[in-house]
Structure 1
């Protein structure tokens, strides 16, 4: 297994501390706090560890409460709210320094058949032949502030291939729509439960940036303060996180220093596997004022 993927899987190897209590490791990735997708994925996995695998998760709803400290582990406290005949509900608080930094509720269901329809996958070029994000990052690194360069070039466990590459450092205003193929770069031999936790992790990459596209904003601007506020996912069909998935996101509204983003994730055969929604903070400070 490639080293970045091994490190990712180690992050998702939660340590059981007691009944309904788990501990996960943090990771610094160039941001000021723990990556929100990591906390969401670990929290979902902690909840899923208390549910039989024949009841897969079908939805999660979460709030980011405080910035996570990547210097210390995260404790996940699972509340077994309900075990019904068809549905199971769990609530999870992620805790650091004695305070919750993240709260998640997840619902699980016995698999059933029923009426079915789905949105059609957009007609876009496949991932073959598209430039990946690593090559794009190497072209841009000299234009980044020095303190971000090392993390910007670090090999990552997830590969992204944008359908329409953007300049993330000096973005031109454009329509709030993004389409990108992604996959974990090595084979992941794990349960469907783990693949869904890893999809929750991946779903936070780039999503909030969709609402920033019309405004020519980026995450490195000194006067821009960005943070995820909430995150929701609905899981529709099976998939593998190590096979190509198309992530299409769009933002219908931004205002009040917040932007809303919706996403749809498809398998390469056109099957819709998940839907995503997230609202994020997009606060612009006066140029001469510090963020915070």
Structure 2
């Protein structure tokens, strides 16, 4: 990753603040970088996904389940993140882990994990960022979305009313009987995990999915959460250029935040639709590329 010189930053800043905007890779303001993705490719996982972007960033997420006693668990969703080149206990990794875990624990339909009166599934979400150039939270989030959407759980065949029966749940040995998380929801509800979207602020312009070069001249870096077809909390203002001296970063204008929420509400449904289309393509044994 090459740091921009002061002259290059000045030129890029001017390009991103003008109307119409000119981004280095010629994307429109609301266009994601092209990416390719694959789901359900890890045989030892209940669900898995991999996303690779055109700049070489790559993330793999595996979801595994375990039967636990519900009363003994404070949370039924656990997240672990490993980033190549960073210590597991570094602030960078810990912050990303906290954001993903907090979003999922606060906005996850935990009823799909309930097995019986005493037992539940617990999901262990393992994320590995093999390489990344720009701030990887959105990459992590979209990959986790795909992994959860394709997660399947074994079919319970024992009695669900086990308050007075001391026995472990038993399951069907036929994996074809396994159920997707969405199939476990009542009344045909749709299962759509929450996602994070990153938006860069430069002047009066908002740019979706800022690149590494763009991050070095942003005035604000917004992280917005999207769930159930609308923006939710948490919303944060972050300096995405963690390895660069970004002198442009400043306080956030509340009007910009209102505009960013409107942009997210407008374009996130298209992102969700693209992810759903990818899963359908994968089910047809096609190589998935979206955006």
TM-score exceeds 0.5: no
- Going by fraction, where is strand more abundant, 1 or 2? 1
TM-score interval (norm. to shorter) = under 0.3
Larger Rg: 2
Structure with the bigger percentage of helix: 2
